[in-house]
């Protein structure tokens, strides 16, 4: 059993948990993920390793409450345990040798972008972090990003905090001001990553994106996480989750990702009603 050491609400729909998992903490690297089950009857869901502490033997996860399983997960508290917590899975982000990088995070995707920015900072790279949210109430990890960034730009769609606009607006302004990046790393909603890649392609800047489609087994056997990259079928769980953003078929990924949204919403509503009944 994997004990929840710490639980913290980052905003009304996003929660951070620190899990006691020494074997995973020993080997985890930025970009990798875990697959967990809340209880013996629960579904398997993938969550990116948001941070880890090898000495303390803990792994941090950050999740958005969108379906039945994340609703159940959010009802657990410090001292409770997860039934399964498997990892680290996937291929770690390749950040060695980079000297100057723009890390772009959107919404809860910032939870995945942060450990990458942190690793780059530890390796001595110059890190420019550009993060975007719909409004001030949804901002997460601001202090964490500032601590590992040489330059930090926060954007909100409505201008309620930081600068008004999209992350692509900020990235374009940085590039046109003369900033030259070895690589851009974009992590967030598919539509955001698509347009970041469209922008960077104009400037011929290598861009890596993190793809987190539906996963079941995390070993490449089920095929649920397949993507088309450069005209070839890839599996995010074993070939990724990082891919060359200029080669990803985002339109196909968005179409497949939307297939289960009505089902997720229905199951979450049922779960919420169940917990209301208990209370």
pLDDT tens for 194-230 read: 999 999 999 999 999 988 756 665 566 666 678 888 9
Cβ burial of 49 (10 Å; 0-12, 13-18, 19+) is: buried
Q: Where are the beta strands (DSSP E) in 141-182?
A: 151-156, 163-164
How confident is the model over 58-97, as pLDDT tens digits? 999 999 988 888 899 999 999 999 999 998 988 888 999 9
pLDDT score recorded for residue 27: 95
| Residue 45 binned pLDDT confidence (cut-offs 50, 70, 90) | confident
For the ranges 74-78, 170-174, 179-183, 255-259, which has the lowest average pLDDT? 255-259
How confident is the model over 98-127, as pLDDT tens digits? 999 999 999 999 998 999 999 999 999 999
pLDDT score recorded for residue 208: 95
CB crowding 254-276: b at 16 or more within 10 Å, else e:
eebbeeeeeeeeebbeebeeeee
pLDDT score recorded for residue 221: 65
pLDDT score recorded for residue 22: 96
pLDDT score recorded for residue 67: 81
Q: How far apart are CA 236 and CA 91, in angstroms?
A: 9
Q: Widest CA span of the chain, in angstroms? A: 58
Residue 261 has pLDDT above 70, yes or no: no
Q: How far apart are CA 105 and CA 131, in angstroms?
A: 5
pLDDT score recorded for residue 20: 97
pLDDT score recorded for residue 76: 94
Residue 277 has pLDDT above 60, yes or no: no
Residue 178 has pLDDT above 60, yes or no: yes
pLDDT score recorded for residue 222: 67
| Highest mean pLDDT out of 125-139, 206-220, 231-245 | 125-139
pLDDT score recorded for residue 177: 95
Q: Residue 232 is inside which H or E element, if any?
A: strand 232-235
Quick one: residue 141, left, alpha or beta (phi over 0 = left, psi -120 to 50 = alpha)?
Answer: left
pLDDT score recorded for residue 232: 87
| Residue 250 binned pLDDT confidence (cut-offs 50, 70, 90) | confident
Residue 23 has pLDDT above 90, yes or no: yes
pLDDT score recorded for residue 68: 83
Residues with Cβ within 8 Å of 265's Cβ and at least 6 positions away in sequence, in order, are 67
Average pLDDT value for residue range 245-249: 93
Through-space distance between the first and last CA atoms of the chain, rounded to whole angstroms: 25
pLDDT score recorded for residue 123: 95
Q: Residue 64 is inside which H or E element, if any?
A: strand 58-64
Per the model's pLDDT, the better-predicted residue between 235 and 191 turns out to be 191
How confident is the model over 141-159, as pLDDT tens digits? 999 999 999 999 999 999 9
Average pLDDT value for residue range 255-265: 60
Domains assigned to the chain: 2-89 (2.40.30.10), 100-257 (3.40.50.80)
The residue whose two tokens read 């005209």 is 231
């Amino acid at each position: 059993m994997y004990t929840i050491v710490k639980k913290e609400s980052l905003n009304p729909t996003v929660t951070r948990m620190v899990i006691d998992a020494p074997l995973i903490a020993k080997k985890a690297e930025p970009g990798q993920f875990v697959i967990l089950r809340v209880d013996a009857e629960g579904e398997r869901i993938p969550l990116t390793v948001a941070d880890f502490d090898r000495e303390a033997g803990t792994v941090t996860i950050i999740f958005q409450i969108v379906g039945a399983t994340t609703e159940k997960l959010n009802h657990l508290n410090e001292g409770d345990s997860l039934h399964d917590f498997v990892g680290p899975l996937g291929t770690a982000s390749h950040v060695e040798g980079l000297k100057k990088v723009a890390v772009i995070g959107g919404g809860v995707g910032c939870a995945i972008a942060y450990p990458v920015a942190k690793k780059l900072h530890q390796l001595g790279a110059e890190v420019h972090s550009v993060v975007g949210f719909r409004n001030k109430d949804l901002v997460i990890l601001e202090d964490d990003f500032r601590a590992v960034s040489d330059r930090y730009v926060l954007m909100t769609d409505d201008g309620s905090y930081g600068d008004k606009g999209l992350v692509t607006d900020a990235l374009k302004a940085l590039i046109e001001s003369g900033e030259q990046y070895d690589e851009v790393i974009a992590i967030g909603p598919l539509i955001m990553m698509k347009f970041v890649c469209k922008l960077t392609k104009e400037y011929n800047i290598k861009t890596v994106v993190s793809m987190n489609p539906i996963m079941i087994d995390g070993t490449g056997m089920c095929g649920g996480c397949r993507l088309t990259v450069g005209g070839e079928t890839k599996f995010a769980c074993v070939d990724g989750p990082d891919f060359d953003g200029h080669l990803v078929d985002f339109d196909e990924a968005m179409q497949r990702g939307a297939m289960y949204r009505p089902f997720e919403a229905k199951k979450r509503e049922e779960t919420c009603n169940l917990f209301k009944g208990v209370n």
